[in-house]
Structure 1
Amino acid sequence: MSDPTPLPFALQFVAGAVAGISEILVMYPLDVVKTRMQLQLSTVSADERYNGVIDCFRKIIRKEGFSRLYKGITSPILMEAPKRATKFACNDEFQKFYKRSFGVERLTQPLSILSGASAGICESMVVVPFELVKIRLQDQNTTFKGPVDVVRRICKEEGILAMYNGLESTMWRHGVWNAGYFGIIFQIRSLLPAAQNKSQKTRNDLIAGTFGGTFGSFCSTPFDVVKSRIQNTAVVPGQMRKYNWTWPAVFTIYAEEGFTALYKGFLPKVLRLGPGGGILLVVFTEVSDILRNFTK
């Protein structure tokens, strides 16, 4: 028996966009906390240091106001539609491609991992400029007034190609995250009891997506830390950037700050992308079913 026929690419794209926007509206403050913790160097004073997720929330709200937790959300909202749409639509397309290429009718876990990694690399091409704008706005010491100001000043001061700073590290992050996410979803779904009704199907998707988001976050966090550091480092002509390429940056952070620094921001990341992965999968599946009914 073959896998169910997926939606056309355009409808997969719509379902992924709706899922992405739903997730970002609920979980964005955790992304701000994650970025702050990742950008924080070990040399920061004790008074300014974030001692965990709750402390970071508390200090941001006390010193900068509650609205700061949504600083820079315009860029991710504009990004989430193409980002998540690309993730799910490309994943489904790569699943079809790899099943044809390997001559199988049903998806296997290795093909699920390969499809996810391929989709993640495609996704990274879409998100890099948006991620760069978001990182620059989320920095505690930002001098940018908003997304347009970020783009204008980067293009003027660093060059238009600087909008793609961190592309290589973003490919690592998204490739690894998607491989873990879709690979675990495949495995968890196979272990859960078959859904007999809609509520059980939603439950299974929420469980599988949460496990997938958690595992993907664990595997990809070191690349996420590196990406944040690279994208928050301005390009200055004639000056060597401390953080530039993924693996050298990984070794630099490890040598200067220790292994745990590569997992800075992991807790808020997993708190967001664990449940967030569940939300993504549930909303994507629900919207896909609605669109599928409309096309019958």
Structure 2
Amino acid sequence: MRGASSDGPSTRDLLCNAAAGASAGAIAATFVCPLDVIKTRLQVYGLPNITSSGRRSTRGLIFSSMQHIIENEGCRGLYRGLSPTILALLPNWAVYFTVYSKLKDLLESSENGEEQLSFGANMAAASGAGAATAITTNPLWVVKTRLQTQGMKTGVVPYRSVPSALLRISREEGIRGLYSGLLPALAGVSHVAIQFPAYERIKYYLAKKGNTTVDQLSAGNVAIASSLSKVLASTMTYPHEVVRSRLQEQGHAMKGVKQYGGMVDCIRQVLHKEGVPGFYRGCATNLLRTTPAAVITFTTYEMIQRFLHRLVPSEAKPSPDTPRHSLR
């Protein structure tokens, strides 16, 4: 789908993208926070003794994990890390969708107005936006991971709030602490490099099948495209999330005690001690969390963005043949 103009997205378009992305991310994060807490703890520690039987179904593990958290920490425990998650997601999706749209417009201008941006160009735009977002928000994801797991450690002074956690980490561990897990987070750019091109292609196929444009796709079709692309990307790139969570969490330990010497050492240890299944610990829980989160995020994003484009007057009246700028 084309941009708002041949010169790329206007200030109005960029602001609409940022506002819609931030709003959609916050709504999705609140909805799936309990599953996010369980997923993070499974990645870092596992929950080996919370079920009564030896055989654990995914649903049983999730429910027993929730029950375990509620019994020991109350309902508040299910929402540990929600504040930094929202604080991270506001700039996360705002930066991502804005940079992604801008890069796509730049790449579209170099592809001589093709109807659909090539898969490779889509991957480049998604990767660039993902890298910018990871670097911008990494400190907040470190805080989020530690707040979600700190109730499982003894002998460690807990963080009182997001600001106090940021101050303590910077004081005790320096910049390296705030950016722990950045390397696997950057490796995780492969996730969006798969998800977004797949999302675009599925939307384009659904629009073509329905004899419409991607701007006019129904919320149901957007939900189908977002869920399928998310399942594909999550399954293919999940191991990096396990490595990232473990590296981010380990700094919240007794001074000088670190289990992993870095990303390569973490991969080696997990592979040696747990084998390949260790890299997929919590994957089923993650899919149950991320798939509805993706549906909520993308569908909400598209609907809010369309609403904002109707609400906010354009800077210059586009020609009748030029559709409004949208996440394509």
Normalising by the residue count of structure 1, what TM-score does the alignment of the two structures yield? 0.88
Q: Which residue does 1:295 correspond to in 2?
A: 313
SS in 2 for 1:215: helix
For 1:169-215, what per-residue CA distance to the aligned partner results, in whole angstroms no more than 9, with x for missing partners? 11112x12211220211221133232769995211111111112222
SS in 2 for 1:234: coil
Instruction: After TM superposition, give the deviation of residue 46 of structure 1 in Å.
Output: 3.5
Q: Which residue does 1:280 correspond to in 2?
A: 297
Q: Which residue does 1:112 correspond to in 2?
A: 122
Select 1:28's aligned residue among 25, 33, 42.
33
CA distance in 2, matches of 1:100, 1:248: 43
CA contact (8 A) 1:195 1:201 kept: no
Select 2:14's aligned residue among 5, 9, 15.
9
- The alignment of Structure 1 onto Structure 2 pairs a total of residues equal to 292
CA distance in 2, matches of 1:53, 1:235: 25
CA distance in 1, matches of 2:256, 2:72: 34
CA distance in 2, matches of 1:73, 1:153: 19
CA distance in 1, matches of 2:95, 2:218: 24
Q: Which residue does 1:66 correspond to in 2?
A: 75
CA distance in 2, matches of 1:243, 1:96: 41
For 1:15-68, what per-residue CA distance to the aligned partner results, in whole angstroms no more than 9, with x for missing partners? 111111111111111110100100116xx7635999532221221122221110
Unaligned runs of 5+ residues in structure 1 are none
1:19 corresponds to 2:28: no
SS in 2 for 1:158: helix
Residue pairs, 1:203-218, within 5 angstroms: 203-218=220-235
Bigger shift: 76-85 or 56-65? 56-65
Output the aligned Cα RMSD: 2.8
CA contact (8 A) 1:36 1:138 kept: yes
CA distance in 1, matches of 2:242, 2:166: 22
CA distance in 1, matches of 2:109, 2:264: 34
Structure scoring higher RCO (CA < 8 A, sep ≥ 6) equals 2
SS in 2 for 1:249: helix
Letter in 2 for 1:3: R
1:75 corresponds to 2:84: yes
For 1:235-256, what per-residue CA distance to the aligned partner results, in whole angstroms no more than 9, with x for missing partners? 89x9684435434422321111
CA contact (8 A) 2:50 2:65 kept: no
Q: Which residue does 2:161 correspond to in 1?
A: 146
Unaligned runs of 5+ residues in structure 2 are 315-328
CA distance in 2, matches of 1:195, 1:249: 49
Letter in 2 for 1:295: P
CA distance in 1, matches of 2:250, 2:219: 42
Bigger shift: 100-109 or 285-294? 100-109
Q: Which residue does 2:196 correspond to in 1?
A: 182
Identity within the alignment, %:
24
CA distance in 2, matches of 1:244, 1:202: 46
Instruction: After TM superposition, give the deviation of residue 144 of structure 1 in Å.
Output: 2.3
Instruction: After TM superposition, give the deviation of residue 228 of structure 1 in Å.
Output: 0.5
Letter in 1 for 2:73: E
Instruction: After TM superposition, give the deviation of residue 108 of structure 1 in Å.
Output: 2.1
CA contact (8 A) 1:53 1:267 kept: no
CA distance in 2, matches of 1:125, 1:177: 15
Q: Which residue does 2:284 correspond to in 1?
A: 267
CA distance in 2, matches of 1:58, 1:199: 43
CA distance in 1, matches of 2:106, 2:266: 34
| Structure with greater Cα Rg | 2
1:164 corresponds to 2:163: no
CA contact (8 A) 1:226 1:243 kept: no
